[in-house]
Structure 1
Amino acid sequence: MASNIQSFLGTGWGFPPTFDKVSNGVRMSSDMKDIEESIWLILGTIPGERIMQPEFGCDLRKMGFERIDSNLVSSLNHVIYHALLNFEPRVNFTGADVLGRDDADGILTIQINYTIISTNTRHNIVYPFYLVEGTNLSAAAI
């Protein structure tokens, strides 16, 4: 690792992993940035995609062709809640809302609300879920 960054919210490899020529190591992220990158990684990973951790991820892909209604919002909340509960222990998921859908670009925009447990602060991220294969990958939008 590149440096000994200490943070009470956590420190880890930056996502996507990049190497820093100056410190001759991996770019690290800490605090809020580390939590946000972790959530993006969880949401962008399909369960079964990682060989050594087949349960890791969030199964948003199964909702790709659903109608936007209260059932979809309820299903999104359920799937995201369980993914963050299992794989991101630093946050409490408080809810997800569908902000909109762009059929031309195949994007479903989801706002994910959460509270950081150790600081009791509320935050949210806007996650563009790509409905059409071959468009930008959600992890590339960071």
Structure 2
Amino acid sequence: MSEHEDDIEESLRILLNTYPGERTMQPEFGTRLRDYCFESFSLRTETLIKAEIRKSILLNEPRVDVEAIVVEQTEKVGVLRINIVYVVRSTNSRRNIVFPFYLNEATDASV
């Protein structure tokens, strides 16, 4: 894996973990994933999470094209696994990132 691709993956992780408004100079940077904490997992929740991630990457990470986003429940209650498949534009390299998301923030769940 090239250093360039490592930087992109780190950028995506930062993007997913940042709430819009946390960065003073970039108020739109981030995702509103925290808004879905304590929501029950349903098709509606899954669709909203996918749309939020896709929109945020489109607006904030021009180095990639998103091919697919898969949101699935894990064996642990309150934990979702988000798999994002993307292509690095400069190298046409297909990559993926797996991001754990905790629907119940106060759980003792670990991935």
Quickly name the TM-score band, shorter chain normalised. Answer: 0.7 to 0.9
Residue segments in structure 1 that go unaligned for 5+ positions in a row: 1-8, 10-29
Indicate the structure (1 or 2) with the bigger Cα radius of gyration.
Answer: 1
Written as runs of structure 1 = structure 2, the 5 A alignment for 1:33-44 is 33-44=6-17
Q: Give the Cα separation in 2 of the matches to 1:108 and 1:120.
A: 28
Amino acid at match of 2:9: E
Aligned to 2:89: 117
Cα deviation, residue 79, structure 1:
0.6
Written as runs of structure 1 = structure 2, the 5 A alignment for 1:73-112 is 73-101=46-74, 102-103=76-77, 106-112=78-84
Render the CA deviation track for 1:73-101: whole Å, top value 9, x for unaligned: 22122111111111111001122112324
Q: CA RMSD in A?
A: 2.2
Render the CA deviation track for 1:2-53: whole Å, top value 9, x for unaligned: xxxxxxx8xxxxxxxxxxxxxxxxxxxx311101000000000011112222
Residue segments in structure 2 that go unaligned for 5+ positions in a row: none
Matched-pair identity in %: 43
TM-score normalised per structure 2: 0.81
Cα deviation, residue 116, structure 1:
1.1
TM-score normalised per structure 1: 0.66
Amino acid at match of 1:128: P
Aligned to 1:127: 99
Q: Which has the higher helix share?
A: 2
Amino acid at match of 1:88: E
Q: Match of 1:133, SS?
A: coil
